[in-house]
Structure formats: structure tokens, C-alpha cells
Amino acid sequence: MVKETLTIEQDKIVAPKASKPKLYWELAKPRLTWLVVFSGAFGFLLASKGDIEWGKLLSLVVGSFMITSAANTINQIIEKELDKKMKRTCNRPLPSGALTVNEAIIFTLIMSVVGTFILWFFVNGIAAWLSLLSLLLYAFVYTPMKQISPISVLIGAFPGAFPPMIGWAAMTGEVSTEALILFGIQFFWQFPHFWAIAWIGDTEYRKAGFKMLPYKEKNETTVIQIIIYTLILLPLGVMPAQYGITGIASAFVAILAALGILWQAYGLLKDRSDKAALRIMFASIIYLPVVMIAFLVDKI
């Protein structure tokens, strides 16, 4: 990330100095992008039987990274002026002026075209089409919807849950019941995770005109929604064992991880503080890699 602090001179933001490659790397949102790539690789490995096709897995990783980077860049192009209003985002390459919109568009085109080519010719058509669909939903439906309605979180949960399903389809060549189960787990996980983030950043989101919480204010009804979606994770965490994807041991891990989020949600229900919401966010961050690793280890 660009670490230099922005300065204000005559009401204008002065862009931090950084090399072009570093700015493009930041534009790709690498932390978020690697999470997507990890989820896709998880689905691929979970679907693997016997020897792992390392060439196909590497192609999936590279192609997914490029298309996800393109989606993240489109998001920042659309929200450039809004990002200027929030401390968390005002020093990004576009709102700071370190990169121009034209440079970002060229970067997007290269990443999306090359990423799609890699997935299409070195993985399979299903993985390529699903990845493009994910880009379109995230960049052109979810992103503008954030300013219109809280339903944006529901819309964004679809492309957010695609990666493990894409990984499974990349390995097997089909979107099977098992792939949909993995999709479901990541789909419902996103609600407690992103609503906790929205709770913490509510003031800044309001400045930018984003409507992220399920209700207008940080109230009891919002917490109940978090609890409901977390409860759905409990039976979903058992389904991989029921369908023979993994064993029963990882099902217990998934249940315990979901109960961890649920316990923190109960804490938010009691005091409704930002600190309590932060604990939900951390519990949800822990949930996904712990459950994925447990599934993989149990399969082995």
C-alpha cells in the first residue's frame, strides 16, 4: 500500500509519491484479491481426487487474481469521488490522483482480457464464464447499488461466494451439488462479516452515501439479522460431511467456528458498541480460513 500521508494544500489533495507498479498493485486490492484466490484454490483442492493438476491450479490462481483485480479496479473507478470523502479510502491511487482514470481503465482491460484467456484455455469454459459473471455482478450491480439500498449486501454476496464454486468447477468441469454447498457456506458467511464492518464504519459510509446496514440505524433489528444468518451457517457446516466431501471432524470445527461468531453477536445484542461489532468482524475473519483448512485436512 501507499503509506505516505496525503497533505492538503489549498483544498487540494496532493498525491503520495510511489512507483507505478506499486500503485497498480494497490489498485488491485491484493489482500481482498488473495482471499478470493485462496477460496478458489480451496474449492479446486477439495474437488481433487488423487493427483492434483498443478498446472490447472496455477492457471486458476493467476486467472482469478487478474479478473478479481479488474473487478476491484472498476469498483474504484466508479467510486472515485466517493472515496475522497472517507479517511479509509481517500489515499487510494484514484482519489489521490496518483493514477488517472484512463490508466485504471487500461489496467482493467488488460487484467480482465488476459485473465479470461488464461481461464478459458488453461482451465475450462465454466470457470471463465463464472469469473466474468462475478466481475459483472460485483462491479456493475453491487457497486452502484451500495448508494441505493442495503440490498446491495445481498447482491454482493453472490459474486463474493463464487470463488469456491469456481474452484470446484475448474477441477470437475461442472457446478455440482457439492459446489453449491461450498457456495452456500461462503454466501451466508458474508452477512455477519460485512454487517459488522458496516456497523463499525457507519459514520464514514453515511458520508459517502453508502447504505450498507440492513436498517437505517445500528439497532437491535440489525443484530438479529446478523444472528439469523449466522445460525444458517450451523447446518451448512455439516453438509460437506453429509455429502462425502469431507469427514465429520471438520463438521465439528465448522460448528464451533459458527458458534464463535454467534457468541460475539450475542455480545453486540447486549451493548451494541463498535467494540462488540469489531469482535464479530474478527470472529468472521477467523471462521473462513479455519473452516476451509479443516475441510482440506479432513479430506486428506
pLDDT digits (tens, 9 = 90+) for 73-120: 999 999 999 999 888 889 999 999 999 999 999 999 999 999 999 999
Helix (H, G, I), strand (E, B) or coil at 241: helix
Q: Other CB atoms closer than 10 Å to residue 70's CB: what's the count?
A: 28
Model confidence at 2, pLDDT cuts 50, 70, 90, reads very low
Q: What is the average pLDDT value for the chain, to the nearest integer?
A: 91
**One domain, residues 207 and 265:** yes
- Asked if 132 and 114 count as a contact pair (C-beta separation under 8 A), the reply is no
**One domain, residues 160 and 263:** no
**One domain, residues 21 and 125:** yes
Model confidence at 300, pLDDT cuts 50, 70, 90, reads confident
Full domain range(s) for residue 249: 179-300
Model confidence at 17, pLDDT cuts 50, 70, 90, reads low
Predicted local distance difference test score (pLDDT) of residue 214: 83
Of 148, 175, 202, the last residue of a domain is 175
Euclidean distance between the first and the last CA atom of the chain, given in angstroms as a whole number: 36
- Asked if 91 and 16 count as a contact pair (C-beta separation under 8 A), the reply is yes
Q: Is residue 22 scored above 80 in pLDDT?
A: yes
**One domain, residues 170 and 221:** no
Q: Kindly calculate the radius of gyration of the chain based on its CA atoms and give it in whole angstroms.
A: 20
Output the domain CATH number for residue 165: 1.10.357.140
Q: Is residue 30 scored above 80 in pLDDT?
A: yes
pTM: 0.91
Q: With respect to residue 184, please indicate whether it lies within any of the assigned structural domains.
A: yes
**One domain, residues 16 and 157:** yes
Model confidence at 10, pLDDT cuts 50, 70, 90, reads very low
- Asked if 77 and 203 count as a contact pair (C-beta separation under 8 A), the reply is no
Predicted local distance difference test score (pLDDT) of residue 217: 74
Q: With respect to residue 249, please indicate whether it lies within any of the assigned structural domains.
A: yes
**One domain, residues 53 and 98:** yes
Helix (H, G, I), strand (E, B) or coil at 247: coil
Q: With respect to residue 7, please indicate whether it lies within any of the assigned structural domains.
A: no
Predicted local distance difference test score (pLDDT) of residue 12: 45
CA distance to 15, 24, 141, per residue, from 100 (Å)? 11, 11, 23
Model confidence at 204, pLDDT cuts 50, 70, 90, reads confident
Predicted local distance difference test score (pLDDT) of residue 16: 52
What are phi and psi for residue 184, nearest 5 degrees?
-60, -40
Choose between 154 and 219: higher pLDDT. 154
Q: With respect to residue 6, please indicate whether it lies within any of the assigned structural domains.
A: no
Q: With respect to residue 5, please indicate whether it lies within any of the assigned structural domains.
A: no
Q: How many domains does the chain have?
A: 2
Span 261-287, pLDDT tens digits? 999 999 999 988 999 999 999 999 999
Q: Is residue 1 scored above 50 in pLDDT?
A: no
**One domain, residues 16 and 161:** yes
User: For cell 479496479, what's the residue?
Assistant: 73
Predicted local distance difference test score (pLDDT) of residue 288: 95
CA dist 269 and 272 (Å) reads 6
Predicted local distance difference test score (pLDDT) of residue 14: 45
State the sign of the Cα–Cα–Cα–Cα dihedral 294, 68, 72, 23. positive
What are phi and psi for residue 145, nearest 5 degrees?
-65, -25
**One domain, residues 168 and 62:** yes
**One domain, residues 152 and 189:** no
Span 160-186, pLDDT tens digits? 999 999 999 999 999 999 999 999 999
Of 175, 193, 208, the last residue of a domain is 175
Joined together, the cell numbers standing for residue 213 give 446496514
**One domain, residues 114 and 262:** no
Of 159, 175, 191, the last residue of a domain is 175
* Arithmetic mean of pLDDT, 241-261: 96
Partnered with residue 129 across adjacent β-strands are none
CA dist 229 and 57 (Å) reads 32
Predicted local distance difference test score (pLDDT) of residue 49: 85
Predicted local distance difference test score (pLDDT) of residue 5: 36
Helix (H, G, I), strand (E, B) or coil at 173: coil
Which residues lie below 8 Å from residue 16, measured CB to CB, with a gap of 6+?
A: 2, 3, 4, 5, 6, 91, 96, 98
* Arithmetic mean of pLDDT, 225-229: 95
**One domain, residues 139 and 199:** no
- Asked if 153 and 168 count as a contact pair (C-beta separation under 8 A), the reply is no
